[in-house]
Amino acid sequence: MKKNKIAVAVALCMAAVLTACGGTAKTETTKAAGAETTKAGAETTKAGAETTKAAESSAAGGKLVMVTNAEFPPYEYHDNNDIVGIDADIAKAIADKMGMELEIQDMAFDSLIPAVQSGKADFTAAGMTVNEDRKKNVDFTDTYAQAAQVIIVKEGSEIKAPADLDGKKIGVQTGTTGDIYAGDIKDANIQRFNKGMEAVMALTQGKVDAVVIDREPAKVFVKENAGLKILDEAFTEEEYAIAVKKGNTELLEKMNAAIKELKDSGELQKIVDKYITAE
Ligand code: GLN
């Protein structure tokens, strides 16, 4: 039912053409909307090219531009020249459902929300935690993952629980919720790094006493570096969602519909299972 609705929306979009839908209508889109529209689609491309400005806003051009910070395994990371991971796969599945192409761009974590706000990107999927401050700047889709900030320490560390972090040197990734919430720790000396992995390296080198970071990347980093462990007690519990430009309800609703389908069909779980193996 939902699927049909999307197909109809795509068809309408293509028929209504061209100002709204802009440039590069995709073959898949055309297929979804039926053979009849193939020609219209081809014409769309031309019309779209003329209205170059619309092509700028990539959502209108048959292509969705996603920004992420590909330093965050298993959600997004580099695999040779590709950006892969749970978020990349989910975004691809959403784009497929919307009959659109997906382009992924990599940038610093704290540039992601500005890129969405300025319209440089259509959305960010970056293991991004929903929080009230960010909600002032972007709109979040329904959440798609439970997450947590955890604490990584060296084995044998005297830090055994979040309460032991007071007065300690704490490594975080700039602009993340780990960075934000570590600010609440009493007398903490916060050391900021561009990449989570760099914070972890600082921990192995004894430059910080602990790292506050998301649970799944923490597991990956601890596995890759001997002598580290994750404390049992999490620092915070949180949830991830995709962020779109404030007020872009059209995209938000389409993405939410796709996310619901992915959840209901079990496809989302399949993607997670591909990257996170149960212990
Ligand atoms: N979940 C954290 C946040 O939203 C970290 C995300 C990340 O580093 N990609 O701030």
In the reported structure, the alpha carbon of residue 148 is separated from the centroid of ligand 1 by a whole-number distance in angstroms of 10
| Multiple choice CATH, 146-238, 2.150.10.10, 3.40.50.920, 3.10.20.30, 3.40.190.10 | 3.40.190.10
Spatial separation of the C-alpha atoms in residues 206 and 61, rounded to whole Å: 49
Pocket-forming residues, ligand 1, beta carbon under 6 Å: 69, 72, 109, 126-129, 173, 176-177, 214
In the reported structure, the alpha carbon of residue 54 is separated from the centroid of ligand 1 by a whole-number distance in angstroms of 31
Measure CA of the first residue to CA of the last residue in the chain; give whole Å. Answer: 37
pLDDT of residue 277: 86
Superfamily of domain covering 58-144+241-275: Periplasmic binding protein-like II (3.40.190.10)
Residue bearing the CA closest to ligand 1, atom 7: 127
In the reported structure, the alpha carbon of residue 189 is separated from the centroid of ligand 1 by a whole-number distance in angstroms of 20
Q: Which residues contact 141 (CB under 8 A, 6 or more apart)?
A: 241, 242, 243, 244, 252, 255, 256, 259
> What is the per-residue pLDDT across 149-198, written as a single tens digit (0 to 9) for each?
999 999 999 999 999 999 999 999 999 999 999 999 999 999 999 999 99
Residue bearing the CA closest to ligand 1, atom 10: 176
Digitized pLDDT (tens) for each residue of the chain, 279 residues in all: 333 434 444 344 344 333 333 333 333 333 333 333 333 333 333 333 333 333 344 445 599 999 999 999 999 999 999 999 999 999 999 999 999 999 999 999 999 999 999 999 999 999 999 999 999 999 999 999 999 999 999 999 999 999 999 999 999 999 999 999 999 999 999 999 999 999 999 999 999 999 999 999 999 999 999 999 999 999 999 999 999 999 999 999 999 999 999 999 999 999 999 999 876
pLDDT of residue 134: 98
Pick the closest to residue 176 from 158, 186, 164, 190 (CA basis): 190
Angle at alpha carbon of residue 73, lines to 249 and 77, rounded to 5° = 75
Residue bearing the CA closest to ligand 1, atom 3: 176
Which ranges of 36-184 would DSSP assign to H, the alpha helix? 37-50, 52-56, 86-97, 112-117, 132-135, 177-182
